[in-house]
Amino acid sequence: MPILRSAALFVLAAVLEIGGAWLVWQGIREHRGWMWAAGGVLALGAYGFVATFQPDAHFGRVLAAYGGIFVAGSILCGVVADGYRPDRWDISGALVCLAGMALIMWAPRNG
């Protein structure tokens, strides 16, 4: 169960961080207004709290592992939000990042 909880927290963190960055991008770069950007700032702030709920107590480990989720989530967001079509190298790279995330976060450790 701790792995499922941890995975769910990583997904929530990705939604908040990537979604928040997308909202800021839309608000500023796409001229949708400051309310979009403000929503993005709030989402990014909420993202900062999510990592504190990870079962692992090591900030560096949690943040490093989250990097794999961020890479894969960013590609997925591009597919959903922008119609981006990842090629086999994008997908392969994302899978490598996810494998690295799993090793960093959930590998069996002594002690």
Q: For the whole model, what pTM was predicted? A: 0.84
Q: In this predicted model, what pLDDT tens digit does every residue of 42-101 receive, in sequence order?
A: 999 999 999 899 988 899 999 999 999 999 999 999 999 889 999 999 999 999 999 999
Q: Residues near 50 by Cβ (< 8 Å), separated by ≥ 6?
A: 9, 12, 13, 16
Q: pLDDT value at position 111? A: 62
Q: How distant, in Å, are the alpha carbons of 61, 83, 104 from that of 55?
A: 11, 35, 13
What is the DSSP code (8-state) at residue 30? T
pLDDT surpasses 90 at 2:
no
Q: Residues near 106 by Cβ (< 8 Å), separated by ≥ 6?
A: 3, 6
Q: Residues near 63 by Cβ (< 8 Å), separated by ≥ 6?
A: 51
Q: pLDDT value at position 64? A: 93
- Sign of the alpha-carbon dihedral angle for 89, 92, 98, 99: negative
CB-based contact 24:40 (threshold 8 Å): yes
